[in-house]
Structure 1
């Protein structure tokens, strides 16, 4: 007789799955979002198992309750002290009973332990949570995280996770995901879209009772965060009161202000640091390129910026902050074009240290020239690191504001928001396929906002909170400022947000709201208590007795408390042995590490960057100089094209190599006998801001090769080892509209002059020799570069001054600052 097998969910490799899928439901009223996440588990094996699954909840979400259905049995548990819960769980498992333990991990993730699930048994876990969304630049962004991406570092040593809490990933698993959202009130009439999933939307009801019901237009999976964006939202300051559910007469208050902060008077000065570690491969690095292109195009004349990238190591494009000009903007676009996720692990601490220490003197001089011009840091990353504690401490100690653009289908929102908030910066996010311009414009608005030295809340006369959450270290125009407070009695009146600018005598009113009537809203009240617990835990350590008592009294899962459920089984249903441990693997995020790409279906209001977009779309002045950005596909790097008398580059430029080692160092010893070694700093520089031939190295190469082998274009200069800084200076500063072949020929012949080589090679020091050479240049007796083209005369004149300031082991400052040495010396 044929044995029939019931249907079951399997991996692509045919293995049985223990997680059958997830369903998400939520409702959004004003800024308060309440949701439930339903996870469905099953034991497909012929033995008892203990299932362990680690998953994310949104940043600042408060877990309000857990409902459990095992088979057809509805069960309930309680939140108890951590050690008590862990011991109770282990005792229940050892006695053969079913137990569920839900933990909040130190990195903000959650782990559910489902012990002694019988063969063929199912379990449905329903988690209820709430969060307050933040108005940002007239919009709301709702994120439902579904997956935790692999992170760099040691999860146990760096993040404080226990071994069973560490996420494991499996390329072969696929879990279905369903979603239904209800957007109520005025928000139902906002412009709604999703950069992560195609949506199906229908409007229910009319007027004030209307609601927009949002669901997925096609089947989803737990491989990317769900993102919903509401634009064109009218912001209002508010102050909501909720009666306490435990302490009679007590009241919890949520205040949210929408301040208007004027732009700063000083020009922007920002250090841009982009993550090029391995986790950024694929969609993330492509999105980062698009974001950087928009950032560089959005800089205004006279503002200053630097460009750096990091992974295991840090590479700086310049030694100091560039002043924005046509040359530096084009150089920045070229640098962005070559970005690859090829620098290994995410050593963010070292990168912050190196970048924030970059060009300190330049920042001070900028302030002296133009008034207070503090330098900020703009970080572009997916945030996939475990060592967030050390990273935040490093950023805080360095004293710079850190602004973050989070990239990817599952960026570590909690990590990035904490890094930004603890340094008085701000955070924004761009998903693959999402138009980057909006996020970049929002970030520029924050960077250009006037700094406030201090913020405070002014409560009505005679009203004083028992506890209040700390206000943020900074406030930005168009971004909400949210604070929680708890009172012993009902407060009445108007609460005001007041700020004081640096060096200002009088405070300024930034926003005000009337305290509304007290409501019986247990979610709002428990969220206020959760904020108080977080403050106590951070300030007093993991053994804060008050935080523990509050968490137990209000039944809140925290790092100090766990949710525990125990079901006593009949003796006949108990296993004879301890259950087998089965870790539920996580899906890899879509597009992570270059493994595939997201299949987008973008809402019209979230349209991605248009192919062959003209630079005027970005407000770029490149058009005025005869340059434009040309994208073969949305993720391609810009190709800079020039008008005027510039020659066509032809195939030579299109075949540009990526070699970092000059030709004479790649040849064998027999072929290049007597050539200088690469480890000699006189000939080769390997610094974070420049890697390539030194001036002496280039003259040595030219003197060692016949003129027929000399480079004739930028690509050939790059192949022999000339670094990007020199190439950009030749193209964007020296050329001034002339063709590439002419500029390169003049430069090569100038560097090949015997007087230049001997001066650089001199044992008595190059300074005296080159100063003498400069005097000869002024007399017209040196650098007889032969060029029949009259257009070569102004190029050669400027090159004469250029070589006069050369040093054997370093290129002049004008190369790294992308300015004309003639102007400086003249």
Structure 2
């Protein structure tokens, strides 16, 4: 007898799925977006279950309603105080009734608890929410998050999540995703595109009633955020009034300004910090490399920057901020091209601490006065961390504005926006396949925007708000500023955004909007109340009685309230035992951790990367030093960049900051007793800004090996253990266009001198002896260099100054500043002679 089995959704491993799929619909009118999120569940098992599913909603979205259908029964619940809701859920569960609890988690995500779903039973949960989209650099970006990526840290201790709220991921799970959007009004004529999904669009109607219908061009899944970008949008300030739904006579106001802020006169000073943790592997680190190369190329002459990367540890490319020059720009491009996601976990708090403290007062050159640019921090990351509260507090306490470029198919938008906004910075995002340059240009516009010492609103005469949301700490040209307020009656007139520049005494108008007649808009009114609740929680914490009363009165799910639904079952339908707990696993984001790649919609304007062999730049074909990236970049990037691979290790990626350790520094059974150990800091340096041989370590190696074994190329110096900072200085500063073999020969011969070795060996700071020794460095001392070669004479003359600043354990500051030794001494006020 053939056994019949009904169709069901399964994972690739053949396991039954409890989440059948998600359908999303939304309408965009101006900047107000209202959406329905429909989640379909089923119990494929032969027992009662309790399904638990954690999912994201957009940043600053307000949940307006929950509707539930179990089988053919339509049910409704209510928003109540969270402890009462949690107890009610547990009681209903124990009594055998069907119950649903929807809770907002402390990290901004939501958890749906569906208790006592009977065998074969289906459940559809429909969530309604709204949000106000923000104009950013004269465009709109709509994000529909679909997946919560794995995050670094302890979700309970660091993020305050409860055990049942933790997200579990299943590599084999696939959940269908459908989407339909309706864009009305002037936005229907905007240029519309998506870097995340292929789209199908259709224009409906004509004139003022025209609407653009947008749907997915092919089947989607819950493995990446949906992103819709609207460009060429007419941007203007607006103020909308809406009657309150409960308080008769009261009016809620949404005022959104499009400020015009002039660019600052001073040059930029920015510390760039790149996330190279394991979660960035794959699409994210590739996008980070592109973004960083565009950022470095877009810096202007004389502007200052530093480069750092982090994971479990922090690595700084320099000891202080570089001044932008051809040398530092090339070195920065090369550093960016080598980035790998190979530094372990995401210790963002420690990385911010280390980077914000980098250089300190040394970042400002001597003689810089009050007009010197304050230093900002630009962070490139996917934001996948749990310990966000400590990280935000650290950034705010250290006084730097943090600007964030979010990377990946499902970045932690809430984490990144909090970090940026609470430090006075701004946030932008780059999805896999999306053109990097526009986001970089937008960020440069913000960084160069004039700082405002204070912001204020000037309401019409006689209009005084009963309550108003806080103004942001910073305002940027082209980025909207949104304010919520409540009035006892309709205000009439114009509201203005007023700002005062730093060091200015007179405030100026940044934008104004005319208040419109009040409408009966329930969504807008409840969103204003949600903003008021958020303000109360920020000032009074979880003990705010007024916040709780408002959330219950206006039926808003909040940190203080949950949605609860209970359906009483007939005694015959109740289970004999407690239901089995089944957590609905999440899909992994596309391209996360190097698993697959989000290859859709690679921008046609972006030139493909090609791999070529290069005879110069850290090696030759004979030395087989590796492949090089040759690309066409509108920011005038270098033609040849070194790859992160070394031929002597096959295809193993080179981890920046790790090097081949020379034999005399490695411990082994046959190591000579007189050779120094690897852990001796006089010979080997392992610091955040440099890892490799010290000057004494290099001279020791050269003195202990015959000249036939001395390095002749940059790649050979690298294999000895000479660090990136020294190699870049040789190529970009010392060489001045001369050939690699000549530069290396001069450098090696100078470093191999007996007197230099003895001076470094005998004293860690024998400056006088080194200066005397420098006078004896001449072309004749370089045995492999022709004595009548003018190029060699010029290089050796500059090495005289270099030698005079050497220390046994430390390379000169000119190396890390990518400056000529004489120029560095002049800037520091020390004479060359």
Deviation at 1:665, TM superposition (A): 2.3
Are residue 382 (structure 1) and residue 362 (structure 2) matched? no
Preserved CA contact (<8 Å) 2:45 2:119? yes
Deviation at 1:144, TM superposition (A): 0.2
Preserved CA contact (<8 Å) 1:434 1:608? no
Preserved CA contact (<8 Å) 2:64 2:523? yes
Q: Deviations over 1:114-165 (max 9, x none)?
A: 0000000000000000000000111000000000000001111111111000
Aligned to 2:608: 611
Label 1:266 to 1:60 Cα distance change in 2 as closer, same or farther (>3 A).
Answer: same
Q: Report the Cα distance in structure 2 between the residues aligned to 1:716 and 1:32, rounded to whole angstroms.
A: 60
Q: Report the Cα distance in structure 2 between the residues aligned to 1:763 and 1:549, rounded to whole angstroms.
A: 73
SS in 2 for 1:744: helix
Are residue 196 (structure 1) and residue 196 (structure 2) matched? yes
Q: Deviations over 1:273-327 (max 9, x none)?
A: 0000111001100100000000000000000000000011110000000000000
Q: Aligned ranges for residues 262-273 of structure 1 at < 5 Å?
A: 262-273=262-273
Deviation at 1:712, TM superposition (A): 1.1
Preserved CA contact (<8 Å) 2:775 2:800? no
Q: Report the Cα distance in structure 1 between the residues aligned to 2:79 and 2:450, rounded to whole angstroms.
A: 45
Preserved CA contact (<8 Å) 2:243 2:249? yes
Label 1:639 to 1:440 Cα distance change in 2 as closer, same or farther (>3 A).
Answer: closer
Structure 1 window deviating more from structure 2 (714-723 vs 375-384): it is 714-723
Structure 1 window deviating more from structure 2 (803-812 vs 541-550): it is 803-812
Q: Report the Cα distance in structure 2 between the residues aligned to 1:242 and 1:557, rounded to whole angstroms.
A: 21
SS in 2 for 1:368: coil
SS in 2 for 1:386: coil
Label 1:696 to 1:359 Cα distance change in 2 as closer, same or farther (>3 A).
Answer: same
Q: Report the Cα distance in structure 2 between the residues aligned to 1:721 and 1:568, rounded to whole angstroms.
A: 73
Q: Report the Cα distance in structure 2 between the residues aligned to 1:243 and 1:216, rounded to whole angstroms.
A: 36
SS in 1 for 2:155: coil
Preserved CA contact (<8 Å) 1:631 1:638? no
Preserved CA contact (<8 Å) 2:273 2:378? yes
Deviation at 1:790, TM superposition (A): 3.9
Q: Deviations over 1:224-265 (max 9, x none)?
A: 000000111110100000000010001110000001101111
Deviation at 1:368, TM superposition (A): 2.2
Q: Report the Cα distance in structure 1 between the residues aligned to 2:284 and 2:609, rounded to whole angstroms.
A: 21
Deviation at 1:393, TM superposition (A): 0.6
Aligned to 1:418: 418
Structure 1 window deviating more from structure 2 (676-685 vs 695-704): it is 676-685
Q: Report the Cα distance in structure 1 between the residues aligned to 2:284 and 2:725, rounded to whole angstroms.
A: 26
Deviation at 1:3, TM superposition (A): 2.2
Are residue 206 (structure 1) and residue 206 (structure 2) matched? yes
Label 1:371 to 1:784 Cα distance change in 2 as closer, same or farther (>3 A).
Answer: same
Aligned to 1:787: 785
C-alpha RMSD of matched pairs (Å): 2.1
SS in 1 for 2:526: helix
Label 1:85 to 1:280 Cα distance change in 2 as closer, same or farther (>3 A).
Answer: same
SS in 1 for 2:742: helix
Q: Report the Cα distance in structure 2 between the residues aligned to 1:396 and 1:630, rounded to whole angstroms.
A: 39
Aligned to 2:150: 150
Structure 1 window deviating more from structure 2 (207-216 vs 657-666): it is 657-666
Q: Aligned ranges for residues 286-305 of structure 1 at < 5 Å?
A: 286-305=286-305
Q: Report the Cα distance in structure 1 between the residues aligned to 2:632 and 2:118, rounded to whole angstroms.
A: 53
Label 1:781 to 1:165 Cα distance change in 2 as closer, same or farther (>3 A).
Answer: closer
Label 1:747 to 1:520 Cα distance change in 2 as closer, same or farther (>3 A).
Answer: same
Preserved CA contact (<8 Å) 2:250 2:488? yes
Q: Deviations over 1:751-807 (max 9, x none)?
A: 001121111112485223112223445xx6984554124422211111122112211
Q: Report the Cα distance in structure 2 between the residues aligned to 1:121 and 1:367, rounded to whole angstroms.
A: 76
Aligned to 2:111: 111
SS in 2 for 1:518: coil
Q: Deviations over 1:540-582 (max 9, x none)?
A: 0112100000000000000100000000111111111110000
Deviation at 1:607, TM superposition (A): 4.0
Are residue 510 (structure 1) and residue 507 (structure 2) matched? no
Preserved CA contact (<8 Å) 2:746 2:782? no
Gaps of 5+ in 1: 614-628, 643-649
Q: Aligned ranges for residues 289-688 of structure 1 at < 5 Å?
A: 289-365=289-365, 368-369=368-369, 371-601=371-601, 607=604, 609-611=606-608, 630-631=629-630, 641=640, 659-666=659-666, 668-670=668-670, 672-688=672-688
SS in 2 for 1:329: helix
SS in 2 for 1:154: coil
Q: Report the Cα distance in structure 2 between the residues aligned to 1:716 and 1:579, rounded to whole angstroms.
A: 66
Aligned to 1:689: 689
Label 1:651 to 1:156 Cα distance change in 2 as closer, same or farther (>3 A).
Answer: closer
Label 1:500 to 1:367 Cα distance change in 2 as closer, same or farther (>3 A).
Answer: farther
Aligned to 1:257: 257
Q: Report the Cα distance in structure 2 between the residues aligned to 1:7 and 1:23, rounded to whole angstroms.
A: 20
Q: Report the Cα distance in structure 1 between the residues aligned to 2:181 and 2:661, rounded to whole angstroms.
A: 56
Label 1:784 to 1:417 Cα distance change in 2 as closer, same or farther (>3 A).
Answer: same
SS in 2 for 1:587: coil
Q: Report the Cα distance in structure 2 between the residues aligned to 1:654 and 1:738, rounded to whole angstroms.
A: 30
Q: Report the Cα distance in structure 2 between the residues aligned to 1:251 and 1:498, rounded to whole angstroms.
A: 23
Structure 1 window deviating more from structure 2 (226-235 vs 674-683): it is 674-683
Q: Report the Cα distance in structure 2 between the residues aligned to 1:382 and 1:174, rounded to whole angstroms.
A: 22
Preserved CA contact (<8 Å) 2:764 2:809? no
Deviation at 1:608, TM superposition (A): 5.7
Q: Deviations over 1:375-411 (max 9, x none)?
A: 0000000000000111101111111000000000000
Label 1:99 to 1:416 Cα distance change in 2 as closer, same or farther (>3 A).
Answer: same
Deviation at 1:363, TM superposition (A): 3.2
Preserved CA contact (<8 Å) 1:8 1:16? yes
Q: Report the Cα distance in structure 1 between the residues aligned to 2:689 and 2:157, rounded to whole angstroms.
A: 32
Q: TM-score if structure 2 supplies the norm length?
A: 0.93
Deviation at 1:199, TM superposition (A): 0.5
Structure 1 window deviating more from structure 2 (382-391 vs 766-775): it is 766-775
Deviation at 1:668, TM superposition (A): 3.2
Q: Report the Cα distance in structure 1 between the residues aligned to 2:374 and 2:660, rounded to whole angstroms.
A: 35
Label 1:146 to 1:764 Cα distance change in 2 as closer, same or farther (>3 A).
Answer: closer
Deviation at 1:816, TM superposition (A): 0.4
Label 1:328 to 1:763 Cα distance change in 2 as closer, same or farther (>3 A).
Answer: closer
Q: Report the Cα distance in structure 2 between the residues aligned to 1:126 and 1:818, rounded to whole angstroms.
A: 59
Q: Report the Cα distance in structure 2 between the residues aligned to 1:125 and 1:560, rounded to whole angstroms.
A: 22
Aligned to 1:724: 724
Q: Deviations over 1:303-360 (max 9, x none)?
A: 0000000011110000000000000000001111111111111111100000000011
Q: Deviations over 1:603-640 (max 9, x none)?
A: xxx54621269xxxxxxxxxxxxxxx944799xx9875
Q: Report the Cα distance in structure 2 between the residues aligned to 1:535 and 1:580, rounded to whole angstroms.
A: 40
Q: Report the Cα distance in structure 1 between the residues aligned to 2:583 and 2:198, rounded to whole angstroms.
A: 31
Aligned to 1:82: 82
Q: Report the Cα distance in structure 2 between the residues aligned to 1:277 and 1:493, rounded to whole angstroms.
A: 52
Label 1:633 to 1:784 Cα distance change in 2 as closer, same or farther (>3 A).
Answer: closer
Q: Aligned ranges for residues 223-238 of structure 1 at < 5 Å?
A: 223-238=223-238
Q: Report the Cα distance in structure 1 between the residues aligned to 2:104 and 2:444, rounded to whole angstroms.
A: 35
Q: Aligned ranges for residues 167-178 of structure 1 at < 5 Å?
A: 167-178=167-178
Structure 1 window deviating more from structure 2 (724-733 vs 791-800): it is 791-800
Preserved CA contact (<8 Å) 2:745 2:784? no
Q: Report the Cα distance in structure 2 between the residues aligned to 1:446 and 1:473, rounded to whole angstroms.
A: 13
Q: Report the Cα distance in structure 1 between the residues aligned to 2:76 and 2:824, rounded to whole angstroms.
A: 77
Aligned to 2:812: 812
Label 1:503 to 1:26 Cα distance change in 2 as closer, same or farther (>3 A).
Answer: same
Q: Deviations over 1:632-652 (max 9, x none)?
A: 799xx987549xxxxxxx999
Q: Report the Cα distance in structure 1 between the residues aligned to 2:111 and 2:32, rounded to whole angstroms.
A: 25
Preserved CA contact (<8 Å) 2:306 2:321? yes
Preserved CA contact (<8 Å) 1:783 1:800? no
Label 1:734 to 1:372 Cα distance change in 2 as closer, same or farther (>3 A).
Answer: closer
Q: Report the Cα distance in structure 1 between the residues aligned to 2:241 and 2:539, rounded to whole angstroms.
A: 26
Aligned to 2:220: 220
Q: Report the Cα distance in structure 2 between the residues aligned to 1:654 and 1:169, rounded to whole angstroms.
A: 33
Label 1:104 to 1:653 Cα distance change in 2 as closer, same or farther (>3 A).
Answer: closer
